[in-house]
Structure 1
Amino acid sequence: MNRSDPLVSVVVSARGNGGRLRNLLNALAAQTLPADQMEVVIVDNDRPGPRRPIAQLINGGVWPYTVRLFQEPEPGLSAGRNRGICAARGRYIAITDPDITPDPGWLAALLAAAQEEQVFCVGGRSIVDYPDGSALPLNEPLRECHGAVNWPTQRTPADWPYWVTGCNLLFERQAALEIGLFRTDLGRKGRWLGDCEDLEFVDRARQNGLNILIEPAALVTHPVYWPETTARYFLRQGAGHGVCVARMHLSVRVEPAAIRADREAILDAAVGLVMSWGFLDQGRAVQSFRDLTRIAAYHGERARLRLLGRRPSLPSSTVRPPQGVAS
């Protein structure tokens, strides 16, 4: 790390949601962390084409910190983030999304926790906001599809029942390059509602002996809009989640609480479906259908992977930086 390098690089991958970047950049300009200690690395993951709206937005703005723009032709949230991490110059990487609004003390709180506790990774608290309302009455299991609902009141090891989210995460760059970056077969990719890229990354780090912490003082707000509260969305999200949890077995030991696909879980979903019809509980009905979809997708993907000869394993590292990129 050179003296001129920033302390932290904020990495943002944008695909189809670049129009919300300006709000994020303005919020980053209001951070209590001095601007000369940070840079923002934006990865344009949009489809190839002559028009690059993300580049136009950045070129038209003035911010107190350095903004660097890169393109990643491979579609997918994980591919975009990996490109940004490899290009970043900071000792620490802070991951977030274009539509996130961080509190002014966000970066300072993440950095303080990482340095004071001497841990590899710190996850902050994310508050989900529904600016358009919701299409369904959202019970806690459905709201958890949009992010963690329950958070500790003080710094706490990131272990069940708490988990970190990819829109509010800080970690040491060099250590991440050594254990491997985000798996590109996990996470969102176009219309595919994959996930678990952040969960797998953190689990893999922990299983390689690194410490993970939750700092609830590092706060961001995450908006969820009407289309992401419909029954169709939750069924698609359940299918994607089931597939991704099944794929996690290839690189980490998956916590049983993260799987929930045994006979008891199937029975609970079936009972919930019957109870929801009896009491006309639309939210519980969608939750039960989603659970059955998730469980079917999980077992279907595990069967597919077995047919391909891909058995569960726990290598020391599963995702390396692209060739030609220096660490």
Structure 2
Amino acid sequence: MIDRHLHRSFSVVVCAYTEERWEDILAAVDSVRGQSMPATETLLVVDHNEALRARLLARYASLSPADGGEVRVLANAGPRGLSAGRNTGIAVARGEFVAFLDDDAVAEPDWLRYLAAGYGDPRVMAVGGRTLPFWVSGGRPDWFPEEFDWVVGCTYRGLPPGKVRVRNVLGGNASFRRTAFDAAGGFATGIGRGGDRRPLGCEETELCIRLGRALPRAVLLIDDRAVIRHKVPTARARFGYFRERAYAEGLSKALVARSVGAGKGLESERRYATRVLPAGVARALRDMVRGRGRRRGGAARAGAIVAGVLTTTAGYLVGSARVRRGPVTFASGPITPADAPVRV
């Protein structure tokens, strides 16, 4: 049960980049403004798209901050990409805590309240939540394994349930103490999604590992009661995207391992690969034998898990070869409006 009298000062950062997601962006902001524990402000950071920024400025210019908090529309002050956009929001955030919500997701009404409840212990530096997929096409494809829900930005099967300590939170549904960025710096550009179309990731993993090094006593939590629902368009429910995203994840993991070392950088991934995925294949094959309901896709799910592992591994090997050819550097230290982006 959460304390209904609890209130902490939260700035919520939503990064946007395309007018194609106009309705999704508005829904994301509405879900923040409808929280049972209101946010201090919503920071809409627009990634090098002046037409979208002007449209959002006009949309929220006359909005009263009295009901649901202020909405501020900002331009990404750094290079194109999600990491620099988030750093822009962090740099100007006025809240004691900074939360992040994807621009194509909506938060449940108690999302912020559950995140806030995790900060009772001063050692807690980050709290994340649970991200559920909303399949636009009408439901999860039979072949799509829950163990690979990270492909579509959602909580995947294999993460421990409840309120648990973790190595890293997941970036689309996460919060940090503002002081965490003073200690460890911000999100590193060059790891996550940038100006190209390749669906890279792992920027929050690298940051969380770096935070643990800067503050060895830091605690990072996931509370699966802090729920958001993430839109999965039809294009991302296809095997082609599944394969592309898995390959990009391998490339990203190579950069993380180069930055923080393979020990920490791949610690959780080893358990996932040696325990969670084999159990997923066995479950899918059992479903194939039983052949009822969603079990009808058992053989395809088993094949998708194997394909996902092989494709991710290939990306990691290619990425490792690339980073060996040149240095990868990460800036650290406090973020200010003048130096918000942390570059790779």
How far apart, CA to CA, are the structure 2 residues paired with 1:223 and 1:126?
A: 10
5 Å-filtered alignment, 1:212-227, equals 212-227=220-235
Q: Residues 56 and 288 (structure 1 numbering): CA distance in 2 closer, same or farther, change over 3 Å?
A: farther
- 2:64 aligned with 1:97, yes or no? no
- Secondary structure of 1:109's aligned partner: helix
- State how far apart, in whole Å, the 1-side matches of 2:319 and 2:224 are: 35
Assess, with a 3 A threshold, how the Cα gap between structure 1 residues 236 and 81 changes in structure 2: closer, same or farther: same
Aligned positions of 1:227-242 closer than 5 A: 227-242=235-250
Per the alignment, do residues 319 and 135 of structure 1 end up closer, same or farther by CA in structure 2, a change over 3 Å counting? farther
Q: How does 1:1-327 map to 2 (within 5 A)?
A: 7-16=9-18, 17-34=21-38, 38-48=40-50, 52-59=54-61, 61-62=63-64, 64=67, 65-72=69-76, 74-116=79-121, 118-132=123-137, 133-134=139-140, 137-146=143-152, 147-150=154-157, 151-159=159-167, 164-189=169-194, 190-208=196-214, 209=216, 210-252=218-260, 253-258=264-269, 281-310=299-328, 318=332, 321=335, 324=338
Q: Which moved more, 1:109-118 or 1:74-83?
A: 109-118
Answer whether contact 2:128 2:173 (CA < 8 A) is retained: yes
What is the DSSP-based 3-state SS (H/G/I as helix, E as strand, rest coil) of the residue aligned with 1:251? helix
SS of alignment partner, residue 317 of structure 2: helix
CA distance in 1, matches of 2:300, 2:306: 10
The residue number in structure 1 matching 2:294 is none
Match of 2:5 in 1: none
Deviations 1:162-205 (A, max 9, x none): x5211211111122132011111122224220011112212221
Unpaired runs of at least 5, structure 1: 1-5
Could you tell me how far apart the structure 2 residues matched to 1:260 and 1:118 are? 26
SS at match of 1:287: helix
TM-score scaled by length of structure 1 = 0.81
Which shows bigger deviation, 171-180 or 191-200? 171-180
Contact 2:188 2:203 in 1 (8 A): yes
CA RMSD, aligned part only? Answer: 3.2
Read off the aligned partner of 1:225 and give its amino acid letter.
P
Whole-Å separation in 1 of the counterparts to 2:271 and 2:161: 27
Contact kept in structure 2, 1:93 and 1:171, CA below 8 Å: yes
Deviation at 1:156, TM superposition (A): 1.3
Q: Which amino acid aligns with 1:248?
A: V
* Kept in 1: contact 2:143–2:300 (CA 8 A): yes
Q: Residues 40, 49 of structure 1: CA spacing in aligned structure 2 closer, same or farther, 3 A cutoff?
A: closer
Question: Is the contact between residue 18 and residue 54 of structure 1 (CA under 8 Å) also seen in structure 2?
Answer: no
The change in CA–CA distance for 1:246 and 1:121 in structure 2 (over 3 A counts) is: same
Give the letter for the 2:9 counterpart.
L
Percent identity for Structure 1 against Structure 2: 25
5+ unaligned residues in a row in structure 2: which ranges? 1-7, 290-297
Paired with 1:41 and 1:122, the residues of 2 have a C-alpha distance of 19
State the distance in 1 between where 2:52 and 2:25 align: 20
DSSP 3-state at the match of 2:44 = strand
Q: Is the 8 A contact 1:245 1:259 kept in 2?
A: no
Cα 1:68–1:117 shift into 2, 3 Å: same
Q: Given residue 28 of structure 1, which amino acid in structure 2 is its aligned partner?
A: V
SS of equivalent to 1:250: helix
Partners in 2 of 1:228 and 1:178 — Cα distance?
Answer: 36
Call closer, same or farther: CA 1:207–1:81 in 2, change over 3 Å: same
What SS class does the counterpart of residue 258 from structure 2 fall into? coil
d(CA) in 1 for partners of 2:125 and 2:327? 33
**Counterparts of 1:50 and 1:107, CA distance in 2:** 27
Q: Does the CA-based 8 Å contact 2:124-2:221 persist in structure 1?
A: yes
Secondary structure of 1:95's aligned partner: strand
Aligned residues: 303
Rounded Cα–Cα distance in structure 1 between residues aligned with 2:170 and 2:205:
8
Structure 2 distance, partners of 1:154, 1:96, is 20
Q: 1:227 to 1:214 in 2, by over 3 A?
A: same
